[in-house]
A = this chain, B = another copy of it.
Amino acid sequence: MNMQIGKQSLQFAEAPYIVSSASIAGQKEGDGPLGACFDVVGEDDKFGQNTWEEAESTLQKEAFSMAIGKAGIKKEDVRYLFSGDLLGQNIATSFGLMDYQVPLFGLYGACSTCGEALSLGAMSVAAGYADCVVSMTSSHFASAEKQFRFPLEYANQRPLSATWTVTGSAAFVLGKRRSKARITGVTTGKIVDYGIKDSMNMGAAMAPAAADTICRSLTDFGRKPEDYDKIVTGDLGSIGQEILFDLTKGQGYDISSVHEDCGMLIYDAKKQGTGAGGSGCGCSAITLAGHFLKQIETGRLKRILFVPTGALLSTVSFNEGKTVPGIAHGVIIEHVA
């Protein structure tokens, strides 16, 4: 039986397998420390399209196609798609995935979307609602800048606490077919608001949500940080990481020896001028697909807690003086011997 564990977690009896994954990255991500891990690195960040939004849709198309190709299945074999992105009204997802004619659950969790999509996808497979689903997400530096900050042409300056939106998309085929990695549990996050109002300091805005979900997951499952080879957050960056360590220590958990942050791994911040690190839905997604998942598959990592983090704001909420609350969704991924 699938089980409710504690207040916010689920443990799957027949844990769904991650059958395959695919990661598509932009040029800057290709130039970064993880560059060699990604399946495809685009030479042109417009990916042959006319607009940035179409480019982002193309990322989703390529990630979906490659993931099902690696799994050796056809789009007709995919019962549900769980996907979302950062753009208003999820247009990267809608225009990226509509040609595949797969029933779609559109999601919005800001940069936590990869965690939300993997959670709902795994829940659907574990419940017997589907033999095979695809969970995915994307972000694009230029479409996000246009959406949230300024068009690139303005060349505005950025504070050091600002993060750099990752151009990338990853897709994960989840199913009953045996593979080397499976999702054994999830911890679903709630919105946490510490009153941060600086949209250029997302790490500080999201760290409390990450701390909340991580501590809740450890408590729900009765585990210690050392029970995980890695606890991986999405895009807190260097400033958010410090806050995360303080907050989790305050709750009695020292995660500093096992913590990694996708936003800190994906760029060489000093060389590449990416401020506090990478961000965006694509950041944690391609880092999981390209980097961590491979280590789980080989058994180098036995068990990780993957916690993508999202900052819940829009230009409207920001301009109306609202805070930037955060949310984080935890997914437990384990090696299958």
Contacts and interface: CB of A to CB of B under 8 A. Distances in A.
B127 A88 contact: no
A327 interface: yes
Contact of A325 (B87, B98, B119): B98
A1 B128 contact: yes
A320 B106 contact: no
A237 B9 CA distance: 42
Contact of A98 (B88, B110, B191): B191
Contacts of A211: none
A272 interface: no
Nearest to A212: B101
Contact of A108 (B108, B127, B130): B108
A103 B53 contact: no
Total identical chains? 2
A80 B188 contact: yes
Given A89-B86, A105-B116, A191 B97 contact: yes
A53 B124 contact: no
A109 B106 contact: yes
Interface string A80-123: 10001011111100110110011111111110000010011001
A124 B10 CA distance: 11
Given A89-B312, A89-B314, A108-B89, A189 B103 contact: yes
A277 B219 CA distance: 50
Contacts of A53: 316-317, 320
Given A102-B190, A108-B106, A120-B120, A127 B317 contact: no
A312 B313 CA distance: 21
A89 B190 contact: no
A79 B4 contact: yes
A13 B79 CA distance: 19
B129 A89 contact: no
A193 interface: yes
Given A51-B320, A91-B322, A104-B191, 18 more contacts: A4-B79, A4-B129, A88-B89, A88-B147, A89-B314, A90-B108, A90-B312, A91-B316, A98-B191, A98-B192, A103-B190, A104-B188, A105-B120, A105-B188, A107-B108, A127-B129, A146-B316, A147-B316
7 contacts: A89-B110, A94-B191, A97-B191, A98-B191, A101-B191, A104-B191, A108-B108
